[in-house]
Every structure is written in structure tokens, then in C-alpha cells.
Chain A
Amino acid sequence: MMMALLRRLGQTAFVLFGISVLVFLVFFATPGADPTARIAGRNASPQTLEKVRAEYGLDRPLPVQYATMMKKLFITQDLASYADRGELVVPEIARAAPVTVSLVCGAAVIWVALSIAMGTIAAAMKGTWVDRGLMILGLIGISMPVFWLGQVANLITQSRYHDTWLFSWVPGLGYVPLTENPWGWFKALVIPWCVLAVMFIGIYSRVLRADLVALSGEDFMRTARAKGLSPSRILLRHGLRTSLITFVSLFGLDFAQLVGGGALLTEVVFGLPGVGRLTYQALTNLDLPLIMATVMYSAVFVVLANAVVDILYLFLDPRVRDAR
């Protein structure tokens, strides 16, 4: 078991290295494009170009360039954005990450809880109007674009009905750090959470229901019924417990890509200064150091989440435990 964990962590490190090389190559070794000009930003002076070239060692071989870049990213953390007047990139991400993490974690709690409830109830009442109703609800959730839903929520809570008793508590757009004011943090985020969660509730509840329904035809579910167990116990302890294996793998990937910047639209709509919005800004400014840093950050999260999912598998599925 311990060995399996270590081996998985080793693999993770290797994959991260691979990704960093890939990202580096995409930005610095693409033929026909001079990275110097791109780092320096639009309309940079020859002096700036010269400075950039020296700083990044762009006149030296690729492995040295790679090492310089990685040193700047992870060790000295002094990668600076020229497009943004020398703003240090790494602290910028470090400031944005908590916002994104707050947003995604809260939404994840909501979507996991609600989708498990909806999926399980729908599977238990398969074929009834409750089942159909829940699944249609899920479908509606999936089909509503998050930016539209966010704008509607803003419209209602920020302007149209802001003065009614129902929404008067809603603070203005923006983020309040948890450490400063927990209640303010909660109030600022609760609507973004719900908006972000809606689509995932739809997807996850439908996936879970389908999985549970498929499982109900399995031999072991029949055995559980033949044992004389109650339907709820069969569904929860045997069905849901087994479905969790699928559920967790799905969740790991979605969660990671959201933390890695995938919550961009929600962040933009609600004015949250998160990683997604940072990436968006970097792209609009063609701010190469920042893009490089955010892509790396995102990759790290996806890979780490994958590792976590795999480790969770070890706990959830004894068969996987033995296969390693």
C-alpha cells in the first residue's frame, strides 16, 4: 500500500516534468516566432528586448533556457510580466489562487451533495414522475450557460430585487478573503457557488442515476436483495458505495480543471479576481510569462488531482489495491 502511494507520487513528479517541458517548448521553441518579442510584450523598445534576452538566456541553448525558466518560476519566483510593468507573476497567482479555490470548493460541496441526493432518489424511484422530474431538472441545469445564469443572478440580486427583503443581504460583486471576514466571505460567494454548481449537479446526478440503474442489474445487487436487506440499504451500502468509484474519478477531473482556471466565466461574471480571470487577462495582453505561469499552475492541479483520485481509488476499490 505504501509502495503503491510512493510509486504514484513518483509518477506524478515525472508527469509534471513532462508537462513543464511541453509547455516550455510550445512557448519558446515554436519555429518562426521569437519568444523575446513575445515576452517583452507589444511595441517593446530594443533595450527591453535586449534585457529580456539576457534575463531569460534566450541566446543560449534550449535546455539552459528551460532551466532558467523553471528557476524563475519555482525557485527565485521572480518571473516578471513586461506587459504589466514588471509585476511579479508568481505572487500574482498566489493571490488569485485562494479566490478560485474558495469558489470551487464551495461549489463542489453543493454539487456533490445535491447530485448524490438527486441521483440516488431518482434511481430509487426509477420510472416514476419524481425520477423524470429530477432528470429534466438536471438537463435544464446542464443546458443553462454559466455566464448567462450568472448574469441573471446578478440582475436579480444586485439590481432588480436587491432592495427587497429577500436579497438585501447580497453584497456587491467582488471577493472578501476568508481570513478577514468569514461571514462576508460566505455572503460574497454563496451565489457564485450555486451558479457554478448548477451545471455539475445536472451532469453528476444524471451520471449517478444511470450508474445506479445499471448496477441494479448486477449480480451482487441481486444477492443483496436475496439476503433480505432493505431497499435503502441495498441502494446506499451496495449500489452507491460501488458507484462512488466512477463518481470520484469524474469529480477529480472536473474539480482540478476548475481550480486550474476553468471557472473563468463565473469569476468574470461575479468579479472575482481568481486564476481564471488572471489567465484571461494574460491572454488578452499576450503576457507570455503570466500565460506560462498560469498554464503550469493549471497543469499542476490537474495532475495532482489525478494522483489524488488514484490514491482515493486505492481506498475505495480493493481490487485496485491488489492490482498494484
Chain B
Amino acid sequence: MPAEAPPAPAAPLLVVRDLCVRVPSRGRMIPLVDRVSFTLGEQDILGLVGESGSGKSVTAMALMGLIDSPGVQITGSALFRGQELVGLPQKQLRRLRGREIAMIFQDPMTAFTPVYTIGWQIDEQIRAHERLSRKQARNRTVDLLAAMGVPDPAQTANRYPHQLSGGLRQRAMIAMALSCNPALLIADEPTTALDVTVQAQILELIRSLRSTYGSSVLLITHDMGVVAETCDTTLVLYSGRVAETGPTDALFAHPGHPYTAALLASIPPLEGPRPERLPAIAGAPPAPLERPEGCAFAPRCSYVHAPCLHAPPPPLVPTGRYASAPRRAEADTQAVPLPAPDNTPRPGNLSHGSPAVQARSEPASLRAAQFAACVLPAEGTPLPPRLKDTAPGPGTPDAIGHAPPPRPPSPSSTIGEPHL
């Protein structure tokens, strides 16, 4: 089905470029998702993190072609195995949905139709895409449920959604998503409605899918902990835009965007010394209608200074451990942010998760790199590494000395929320 043959054997599964989702509001088109780009390789797990309103779910829904509110405008490109998803007719999308791209939702209670047994609902998906008898479909359903660790799968298939616990429902939901062996699994907050001990089970299951089913996963979550435990690559969204992207380990060790750094810092630690107060971020994320002109995070950022405040918003530039000596990238997000020439090669399968792959001309063996939509790296004053034991990358200056003096985070005294 792919219109063009993938150029290399290890071609990325999904290449999203400048995806925009705009909705009409008060006579204007408001971007809920604003030029989001990412690449998902085969058997990769990519984490899409952000707070409510960051556009992470909208991105997923746009990829699935599930947005149909009147007047919505979706632009950009999303190549799935070389096939363009944006603008694909519903009829063709329907053939992809459930078979090639499957989705897991947040609340498995409401995500199943309450009046049918879960076995019926899984059978239905199988039979929608494959010519199988009821019996064959049910056999596969039972096998899948068993593979997802559902006890007594044949019995469980005959039960209604409300009769199962949250964990079992989510396993059934994953079984349904995998029923037609999709190449891409989109998991939208799959563990948010679950208890921690059950969440740990489900995350383990999702991690194991890669080896057992060869699945690639787009994991959408608000929980940095879930990302750290699960994803190879991380994409941090803020107010509909990409704030930062990179290999998860690099990004967590050395966040390049003040938002990522502040978000990580604001999570209360479970180990180590207990801070008297949490380094909270003042204010709240802006509503899409009230998004500032320049960097969307500027009003809450402790590093904000003049260049942050003017349109256009800062483009993605290389950052982190592997960033080169400070250089100014083209002031245009559409431009390909080229990885620095002195990048050290990175091991194995993290290689597709960065915008660097978008450069079709680049060899497929491009190293993973980290990019942040922030002016600081370009100004030569990137953020200090988050973890003490991480050696600073080549050319990383002592950030504290060079960065503008950070505002002391004093959230309870700051009310810079745009709603007021």
C-alpha cells in the first residue's frame, strides 16, 4: 500500500512534520497543535508528555483521523510507512484504524461499550478487518487475553466491562488494540486511571509488547515518571508546541528547555532529602486563545528575557550533552535543525526519535540528538545538567554563570495566570 518504497530498511514507521490542528474560535483559527514534528522508528516507544491542554491527545486523535468537529483544519504531514495520513479519506483511514494503527484510551471503563461483553467487542474489531468466523475470532480473542495476562481468558471474554477491575479492563483494551497486529500502537494516558501497583503491571506489559509483538508505541502521558520508565524517546509539548525532544535518558539528565527542567524539578522526590518547598512553576499553562506571541512558556519561565517575548516563537535548536558549541540555528522552525557536527555516536535503537531524521538527505544512521525550542542554547547559555553525576557535554559552559539570573521561584506569591 505505501505509495513510495521506504528508502532504507530501517525506515521510520511514522514521520510527522509540522502537524497543525486549528479550530475556529471567535472568528479566528486557534492552533491546538502548532507545528509538531517527530519521528517514530520501528519498535520504538516515543513518549508525548505534556500537561492538560498541551495538545498531546489532539495530536494522537489527528493522526488517527478521529477529529471531526466542524471547521477543524489539519495541516502538515504524517507519513505512516510512506502513506500520508493527513487528508486521507475516511474510508481509507478506516482500513488503517484498528488494523495498522490501534489506540488505547485512558479510562477503560468508559472506553468499552457498556452493553456488550469485552469478548464481543474484541471479536468485532477482528471481524471488521479480517474474514474470520465468529469462532475463529473468539479463539484469537481468548489467546490475546491470555497473552495479556488475563486470568481465565475464556470466561473473562464473556464478561461485561463493568464486571472487570480497572487493570483487567486495561489489559482487555490492550488485547483489543493488538488484535489485528497493528504496526503502531497509540496509548493515550493508558495508566492514568489505574492504581500505582496496577500501573506498574500495565507499563511492564506495554514495554514487553515491543519484543513480543514488534509494536511501536506512541505513549501519551502527563507523568514524567511513566516516560522515564517506558520511553526511548521523549517529546515534551507545551501549549501545543514542541518544547523539547530527545532521547529520554539525555533529556532527563540534561533538560534543554526550562519548562522540562522546571517540570522535572516540581515533582516531589520520593528519595533523598525532602525540600522544604517544591520548586514550583508559577501560574498555569496558557489557554490556546491566550497563548503569548513569543515563547509560550515565557510568562512562567525563570530565564525569560527580551528575545523570548517576540514572535516567532523560538525554533528547535540542538541542546543537551551533545549540543555543539553555541550556534544560532535558522530562526525558522520549518528549517531542519541540523545536529552538530561533533556529535558522538549513540548506541542503537534510539536513532529515529529525533527531528534530525526529517532530513531526508541525511544518512539513516543519524545519531540521536536533543532539541529544545528555547533561545538559551543558541545564546550559549544552556541549562545546567539536572543530575549531578552526569558529566557536562563538550562545549557546555558553566550554565549558572552565563545564564540570566534565574528568578527565585515563588509560586504562591506569583499570580501570573493568564486567566485573571
Contact = CB atoms under 8 A, between A and B. Distances in A.
B114 A318 contact: yes
Contacts of A63: none
Interface string B122-140: 0011001100000000000
Contact of B113 (A127, A224, A231, A322): A224
A319 B159 CA distance: 11
A226 B115 CA distance: 18
Given A228-B97, A319-B162, A220 B128 contact: no
B163 interface: yes
Contacts of A316: 115
A226 B98 contact: yes
A227 B96 contact: no
Nearest to B96: A228
A237 B129 CA distance: 17
The A contact surface, by secondary structure, is: helix
Interface size class of B (residues with CB under 8 A): 20 to 34
B160 A223 contact: no
B160 A228 contact: no
B114 A317 contact: yes
Interface in A91-118: none
A123 to B, nearest CB: 14
B123 to A, nearest CB: 11
Contact of B107 (A219, A238, A322): A219
Nearest to A216: B68
B125 A228 contact: yes
Nearest to B93: A228
A219 B105 contact: yes
B128 A227 contact: yes
Nearest to A319: B162
B115 A223 contact: no
B162 A225 contact: no
A218 interface: yes
A140 to B, nearest CB: 26
A230 interface: yes
Contacts of A64: none
B114 A225 contact: no
Contacts of A318: 114-115, 160, 162-163
A229 B105 CA distance: 17
Interface string A210-243: 0000000011101111111111010001100110
B124 A229 contact: yes
A226 B111 CA distance: 11
Contacts of A227: 97-98, 102, 124-125, 128, 176
B210 interface: no
Interface of B: 64, 66, 70, 90, 94-99, 102-103, 105, 107, 110-116, 124-125, 128-129, 160, 162-163, 176
10 contacts: A219-B105, A220-B112, A223-B111, A223-B113, A226-B97, A227-B97, A228-B98, A228-B125, A319-B114, A319-B160
